[in-house]
């Protein structure tokens, strides 16, 4: 896998879905590549923290339009993340392989307490992330002008964005009623 695919997909799918992102949070122990992608967007402030529940406890309520999480996801961390998100915000988080059905179903059921829309998408190779949204649908509400006007991209574009959400039938059937779209 080309090294630029993953950070572009983790950052731009969310930032081109959110209506007007001004402040985002990157939760990761290795944020450099994603920070570079965020800088391709104008007027977005990006905070970063390392992975760990102790760091999440200190987040201010209703502070972020988008949170991109590479840390672990459990009920406790999701409660802190949701609290830090604004009413119409998005969360992108890594998750177990879609082939690990029971673990994903459990995670998606917890996410359903906080988000209207929960959709897996391809972030490069066999890696997938979950886009969780309180308001905006990632394929219906893509901001095409923002997606097409970004400079310096090697992979992401307005055609890749909705295509990343395509899933084979065996995955669709397995997650029927769990994926919220």
How far from 174 is each of 98, 114, 121, 133, CA to CA, in Å? 9, 22, 15, 21
Q: What is the 3-state secondary structure (H, E, C) of 138-169?
A: CCCCCCHHHHHHCCCCCCCCCCHHHHCCCCCH
pLDDT category, 1, cuts 50, 70, 90?
A: confident
The answer, yes or no, to whether residue 51 has pLDDT greater than 90, is: no
Q: Give the C-alpha separation, 123 to 115, whole Å.
A: 20
State the pLDDT at residue 35.
95
- Tens digit of each residue's pLDDT (9 = 90 or more) over 87-120: 999 999 998 888 899 999 999 999 999 999 999 9
Q: Give the pLDDT of residue 54.
A: 85
Distant-in-sequence, close-in-space partners of 17: CB < 8 Å, separation ≥ 6? 90, 131, 133, 136, 137, 138, 141, 142, 143
Say what the pLDDT of residue 4 is: 94
Q: What share of the chain in percent tops pLDDT 70?
A: 100
Mean pLDDT along residues 5-12:
96
Residue pLDDT, tens place only, 140-171: 999 988 888 899 999 999 999 999 999 999 98
Q: What is the mean pLDDT of the chain?
A: 93
Note the pLDDT of residue 137. 95
Region 5-174: CATH code? 3.40.50.150
Residue 48 has pLDDT above 90, yes or no: yes
Band of the pLDDT at 126, cuts 50, 70, 90?
confident
Quickly tell me which residue has 């007027």 as its tokens.
43
């Amino acid at each position: 896998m080309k090294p630029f695919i993953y950070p572009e997909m983790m950052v731009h799918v969310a930032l081109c879905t959110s209506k007007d992102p001004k402040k985002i949070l990157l939760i990761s122990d290795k944020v450099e590549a994603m920070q570079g992608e965020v800088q391709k967007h104008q007027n977005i402030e990006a905070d970063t923290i390392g992975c760990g529940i102790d760091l999440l406890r200190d987040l201010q309520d209703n502070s972020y339009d988008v949170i991109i999480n590479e840390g672990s996801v459990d009920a406790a961390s999701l409660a802190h993340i949701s609290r830090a998100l604004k009413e119409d915000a998005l969360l992108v988080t890594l998750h177990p392989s879609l082939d690990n059905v029971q673990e994903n179903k459990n995670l998606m059921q917890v996410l359903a307490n906080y988000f209207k829309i929960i959709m897996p998408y391809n972030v490069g190779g066999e890696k997938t992330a979950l886009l969780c949204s309180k308001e905006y649908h990632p394929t219906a509400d893509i901001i095409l002008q923002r997606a097409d006007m970004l400079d310096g991209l090697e992979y992401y574009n307005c055609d890749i964005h909705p295509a990343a959400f395509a899933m084979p039938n065996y995955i669709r059937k397995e997650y029927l009623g769990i994926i919220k779209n």
